[in-house]
Structure 1
Amino acid sequence: MARPSKKEQILREGLEVVRRRGFNAAGVRDITSAAGVPQGSFTNHFTSKEAFGLEILDRYFADVHTTMAATVEGAGSGPLERLRAYFDAITDRLEDRGWHHGCLIGNMSLEVAEHSEAIRARLTEIFSQWREPFARCLLEAEAAGQIRLDVPAVELADFLITSWQGAILRMKVERTPEPLERFKRVVFATVIHS
């Protein structure tokens, strides 16, 4: 009888190690130790640490997408309320983590994109996929007469995600929600308005 796969355990615990320590500082030994598996289990499931990095990015982005589906793409409220709900939901998650760690996608963009072409390329795809629901929501807000778009919706969506990542970076430095709240105040008062 085949032994159960340890891959799920390694991904789950390894993502937390990377979130706390950073990708470069998280060694395979740290990851397997947190997962409670021998080091050989890592190489049984991942051809390299870079391959592991790609999988945790996909796992993390799947969670982000779930949040987007429940907020930005959700039903029952107007488009601007759904956008705000997304930023509020992420703020709540970051509060649960004590304003530490930030966003894995942003962290890996800063830390790994210069050194791994595969991870850089995947991050590019993630950002492209991330902005699409935002762009659709902005177009819906424009059609409803809630906002006037002076730039293409996809460009504004990209700007929002990029600015949000900057606010998260400042949040990590300051260990306070103020950069996130400032982002929301400024965006909804000046950038997204009728």
Structure 2
Amino acid sequence: MTAPKKSEQTRSRILAEGRALVLAQGFGGLGLTELLTVSGVPKGSFYYYFPSKEAFGCEMLNAYVTDYLAALDAIIAQPQPAAERMDSFFSSALGGDAGSMADRCLVVKLAAEITDLSEDMRQILDDGVTAVCDRLAQMLREGAEDGSIILQVDPACAATLLYSQWLGAAIIAKLSRRPHPLEQALADTRRRFFT
């Protein structure tokens, strides 16, 4: 396996640093000069890596969605009953080294901001949410089969409503700067879905 080229490493570093800055400041608040300084890239080099700020945003969101789905897929692949896997996924939303879902979720941070700013960025996030809901529906079906989750009449609809609840809880947790809304969402998920 060959090592990534220096330009690919630099591009990845810009994307990673950009994600951290966007989580802190929003996409509109992201200054390209600050991004390049934090990334250790000479000023004026941004357009060598990305044709526009929007193109950068699309690449950043694509990488975010890919990482998020890979983490969820790793949980889904575990051998435990579906309810335990789902509980693991939602419990991780309460916090860890990177903070809670309220702190690290780009859907929570950007959904309202980019909807009017960029159709391409909006579509990437929307497709990512749809993919998460599809995976949650899969776990709901598996849980009904293994007896760990209460049978849902429409697993796809239930998964969408469940994830919507969690996104709302993350927004309220961010607004209040308290974990209580996420803790309530976890308790409610366990009560409504797990046998």
Taking structure 1 as the reference length, the TM-score comes to: 0.88
For 1:136-168, what per-residue CA distance to the aligned partner results, in whole angstroms no more than 9, with x for missing partners?
110111122331213x21111111211111111
Give the match for residue 78 of structure 1.
81
Tell me whether 1:103 sits opposite 2:105 in the alignment. yes
SS of residue paired to 2:131: helix
Kindly indicate whether the alpha-carbon contact (under 8 Å) linking 2:94 and 2:100 is maintained by their aligned counterparts in 1.
no
The 1:101–1:144 alpha-carbon spacing in structure 2 relative to 1, beyond 3 Å, is: closer
Matched, 1:18 2:22: yes
Per the TM alignment, residue 97 of structure 1 is displaced from its structure 2 partner at its CA by 3.0
Aligned-partner Cα distance in 2 for 1:98–1:105: 13
* Aligned partner of 2:121 among 98, 119, 138: 119
Aligned mates of 2:35, 2:60 — CA distance in 1: 12
2: CA distance, partners of 1:18 / 1:115: 14
Match among 45, 48, 71 for residue 44 of structure 1: 48
Task: Judge conservation of contact 1:167–1:183 (CA < 8 Å) in 2.
Answer: yes
Q: Give distance in 1, aligned partners of 2:90 and 2:53.
A: 31
> Which ranges in structure 2 are unaligned for 5 or more consecutive residues?
none
- The partner residue of 1:8 within 12, 15, 21 is 12
User: SS at 1:30's partner residue?
Assistant: helix
Q: Give the root-mean-square deviation of aligned CA atoms.
A: 1.9
Runs of 4+ in 1 over 2 A off after TM superposition: 95-102
In structure 2, how many angstroms separate the alpha carbons of the residues matched to 1:175 and 1:91?
Answer: 12
- In structure 2, C-alpha distance between the alignment counterparts of 1:90 and 1:41, rounded to whole Å: 36
What are the ranges of 5 or more consecutive residues in structure 1 without an aligned counterpart?
A: none
Whole-Å Cα distance in 2 between the matches of residues 176 and 111 of structure 1? 22
Q: Is the 8 A contact 2:140 2:151 kept in 1?
A: no
Please say if residues 133 and 163 of structure 2, whose CA atoms lie closer than 8 Å, have aligned partners that are also in contact: yes
Aligned length: 188
Task: Report the alpha carbon displacement of residue 129 of structure 1 after superposing the two structures with TM.
Answer: 1.3
- Contact 2:173–2:182 under 8 Å retained in 1: yes
Give the C-alpha shift of residue 121 in structure 1.
Answer: 1.5
- Residue 99 of structure 1: how far off its partner (Å): 7.7
Q: For 1:103-128, what per-residue CA distance to the aligned partner results, in whole angstroms no more than 9, with x for missing partners? A: 11221212111221111111221111
Amino acid at match of 2:156: V
Q: Which letter maps to 2:188?
A: V
- Secondary structure, in 3 states, of the residue corresponding to 1:112? helix
> What's the % identity of the aligned pairs?
28
TM-score by length of 2: 0.88
**Partners of 2:100 and 2:58 in 1: CA distance:** 26
Rounded to whole Å, the distance in 2 between the matches of 1:9 and 1:184 is 34
* Equivalent residue letter for 1:91: L
